[in-house]
Every structure is written in C-alpha cells, then in structure tokens.
C-alpha cells in the first residue's frame, strides 16, 4: 500500500504574526516523512515512529495516543484501523514542521486503508484537526506546507478575489494558501539542538500581546513589511536585499521575545561565514535557523556542523539534504 510522503517546512517570513492574521511565506521540504510499512487493522491505529521514540497505539496515554484516537474517529468511511511504521528525515521539536508532516501522513495512510479519495484541501483540513491536538490553535501554515509543499504565501483568513497583486505568478492552493512560482537561492538550515514546544511559544506571544497590544501589533506590522519587501527581492533575485529583509525579521523576532542564545549563536556564525541574512524559522525558543548563503552554502554548513549542529542544504523548493 503506497502513501504519498508528506513535507516538512521552512518559514521565511511571518511566523507568529500569522497566528494573529498577518501573512507568512514558507516552503515545503519534500519527502520529510515516509510510510515504510502499512497494513489494515480491524479496530485501532498502531504507529511505530522511531524518530519520536514512539511505538504505541491509540490507547497510549500521551499526546500521540490522543492524535491516533482522533484520527480513527475523524476520517469517514468504514471503521477500519491500521498499523504503520514511519520514517522521518526531520527531528521533532526543531521548527521544521514534524508534527504537521505526521498529521498529513496519518490522514493519507488511513484514507488509503479505508479506500477514500481525498483531495489535498480535504487532507489539509483533516490534518489541521490533528495539529490542533498538538498545538492548541495553530494558524494552519504548517499543515498547509506539509500537504501542498512548494513556496507558499499563506494567511489565516481567505484571500480576496481577485488575488492581491504579486511579483510572480501565483495559483490558489486553498482559500488561505497561494502557491508561488519563484526560484529559490541557496540556503542552509541548522538545528540549534534545543527542542521547542510550538504551543508554549505561541502562548508566550499571545500573553505578550495581551499585556502590550499596541507594541506587539507594531512588531507584527513590521514583520509584514519585511515579508512584502523580502518577497519582492526574492522574486527579482536581489539576494543582498532579501538577506537584509531576513535579518530585519530576525531582529523583530528578538524583540518579540522568541529568539534564544542558541539561535543568536547560529545566526552570528552564519553571518560571519558569508550568509547574506539569517533568522530563526518556526516558533523559536530553540528549534532551527535558516541562512541565505548563495555561493557560501558550504562555508556556513561547515561552520554550523563544526559547532555540533545538524545542518541541511536547501537548493530550491525540491532539493534539500543533510550536510555532512
């Protein structure tokens, strides 16, 4: 039984602000999670996921048990379950979208077992319900990227018709997501090694916004400005300018309080080794950093690897691999 793999993600602009209605831009990491074995089971779901140290079923007392249980009830059709084993190329809690990738893959696998034909928008909608168990009230950006992949402009509310004027051809993936046709420069992603909890980081920002609504909205508005500036530069291939936009966004995330000493250290290392820009990607507080390094990809990757960080090369929206 073959199941299409799901994607990881790297957010370039708009994390956190997207939860409060601002747009975000991210890209998928194809083949991040793959089903290795799948067979139908009569009445429950059993998952083996070594990357998460998990081997259990829907009666497991933890979060994953809850997710598997919800999945079984959520999908329409015959009440069939499944046993599956999943290989993950991304670590959990690294800001690279592992929970969304798992949610999409679980939906696809059970749909296959139950003989359901679900289009991508429906897969995404169901995966989002599972993401809510992981993260509370996520924006939907991660599950959108895990499902559709490519370079994507997303916002929580529907995009108007006609679509906003964009610097590149865009196609509607869903009411909230537009797929962008643009060439990506060489980038590098590095893992701080410190796991984070998206739910916790989002809650931190929510409380900050409650305490300081005006200041926080100003930061979000600035983040949105960085996004449009960055998108223009990306589409025109103006890498130096794109680097400045990424650096500005990192500064704003620091002011928002979601950076960390580990993130700051990776950002500094990247800039010192020739990156044009670098910022945290995802919820922050640990997790991963993305660096724009056309022509200096190897230097940045080597510097991060030497400092003990897991590192990936990103060569466009279809090609990413572990740096050795």
Nearest to 312 by CA among 294, 290, 296, 295: 290
Q: How many CB atoms lie within 10 A of CB 82?
A: 23
Q: Which of residues 142-161 bind ligand MEV (CB under 6 A)?
A: 142
Residues 63-102 as x/- pattern, contact with ligand MEV by CB under 6 A: ----------------------------------------
Nearest to 304 by CA among 191, 158, 186: 191
Give yes or no for residue 18 binding ligand MEV (CB under 6 A). Answer: yes
Give yes or no for residue 250 binding ligand MEV (CB under 6 A). Answer: no
Residue 55, token pair as written in the block:
């081997």
Distance of closest approach, residue 138 Cβ to ligand MEV, in angstroms: 3
Nearer to ligand MEV by Cβ, of 19 and 252: the residue is 19
DSSP 18: G
Distance of closest approach, residue 257 Cβ to ligand MEV, in angstroms: 13
Site for ligand MEV (CB under 6 A): which residue of 12, 15, 25, 33?
A: 15
Kindly state the number of chain residues that form the binding site for ligand MEV, as judged by CB under 6 A: 12
Q: Does residue 40 contact residue 57 with C-beta atoms inside 8 Å?
A: no
Backbone angles phi, psi at 27, to 5 degrees: -140, 155
Annotated active-site residue in 142, 315, 318, 319: 142
Longest distance between any two alpha carbons in the chain, whole Å? 57
Contact stretch for ligand MEV (CB under 6 A) within 28-36, 51-59, 135-143, 294-302: 135-143
Residue 132, token pair as written in the block:
């809510």
User: Whats the size of the chain, residue-wise?
Assistant: 324
| Chain center to CA of 201 | 15
Task: Look at residue 159 and give its three-state secondary structure.
Answer: coil
Active site residue 315: no
Distance of closest approach, residue 269 Cβ to ligand MEV, in angstroms: 23
Nearer to ligand MEV by Cβ, of 248 and 296: the residue is 248
Nearer to ligand MEV by Cβ, of 198 and 259: the residue is 198
Nearer to ligand MEV by Cβ, of 81 and 95: the residue is 95
Give yes or no for residue 283 binding ligand MEV (CB under 6 A). Answer: yes
Establish how many alpha carbons lie within 13 A of residue 225's alpha carbon, considering only the half-sphere containing its beta carbon. 10
Residues 195-234 as x/- pattern, contact with ligand MEV by CB under 6 A: ---x---x--------------------------------
Nearer to ligand MEV by Cβ, of 141 and 152: the residue is 141
Cα distance between residue 62 and residue 81, in whole Å: 19
Give yes or no for residue 139 binding ligand MEV (CB under 6 A). Answer: yes
Nearest to 213 by CA among 203, 205, 225: 205
Whole-Å CA distances, 101 to 4, 32, 73, 207, 280: 11, 7, 20, 28, 19
Site for ligand MEV (CB under 6 A): which residue of 5, 81, 91, 138?
A: 138
Cα distance between residue 42 and residue 210, in whole Å: 48
Nearer to ligand MEV by Cβ, of 3 and 25: the residue is 25
248-278 core/surface letters (b: 16 or more CB in 10 A; e: else): bbbebbbebbbbbebbeebbebbbebbbbbb
Please list the active-site residues. Answer: 142
Residues that bind ligand MEV (CB under 6 A): 15-16, 18-19, 138-139, 141-142, 198, 202, 282-283
């Amino acid at each position: 039984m073959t199941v299409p793999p799901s994607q990881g993600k790297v957010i370039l602009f708009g994390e956190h602000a997207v939860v409060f209605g601002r747009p975000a831009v991210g890209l998928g990491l194809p083949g991040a999670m793959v089903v290795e074995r799948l067979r139908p089971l009569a009445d429950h779901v059993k998952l083996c996921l070594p990357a998460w140290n998990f081997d259990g079923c829907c009666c497991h007392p933890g979060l994953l048990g809850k997710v598997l249980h919800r999945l079984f009830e959520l999908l329409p059709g015959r009440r069939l379950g499944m046993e599956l084993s999943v290989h993950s190329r991304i670590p959990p809690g690294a800001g690279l979208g592992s929970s969304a990738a798992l949610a999409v893959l679980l939906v696809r696998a059970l749909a296959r077992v139950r003989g359901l034909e679900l289009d991508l928008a429906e897969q995404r909608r169901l995966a989002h319900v599972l993401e809510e168990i992981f993260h509370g009230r996520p924006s939907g950006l991660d599950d959108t990227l895990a499902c559709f992949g490519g370079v994507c402009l997303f916002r929580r509310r529907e995009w108007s018709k006609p679509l906003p004027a964009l610097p590149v051809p865009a196609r509607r993936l869903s009411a909230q997501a537009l797929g962008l046709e643009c060439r990506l420069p060489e980038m590098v992603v590095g893992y701080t090694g410190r796991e984070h909890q998206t739910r916790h980081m989002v809650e931190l920002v929510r409380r900050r916004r409650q305490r300081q609504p005006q200041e926080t909205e100003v930061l979000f508005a600035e983040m949105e400005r960085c996004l449009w500036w960055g998108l223009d530069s990306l589409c025109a291939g103006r890498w130096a300018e794109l680097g400045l936009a990424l650096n500005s966004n990192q500064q704003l995330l620091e002011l928002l309080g979601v950076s960390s000493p580990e993130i700051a250290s990776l950002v500094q290392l990247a800039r010192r080794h020739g990156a044009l820009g670098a910022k945290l990607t995802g919820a922050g507080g640990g997790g991963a950093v993305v660096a724009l390094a056309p022509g200096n990809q190897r230097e940045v990757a080597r510097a991060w690897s030497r400092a003990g960080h897991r590192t990936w090369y990103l060569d466009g929206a279809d090609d990413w691999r572990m740096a050795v």
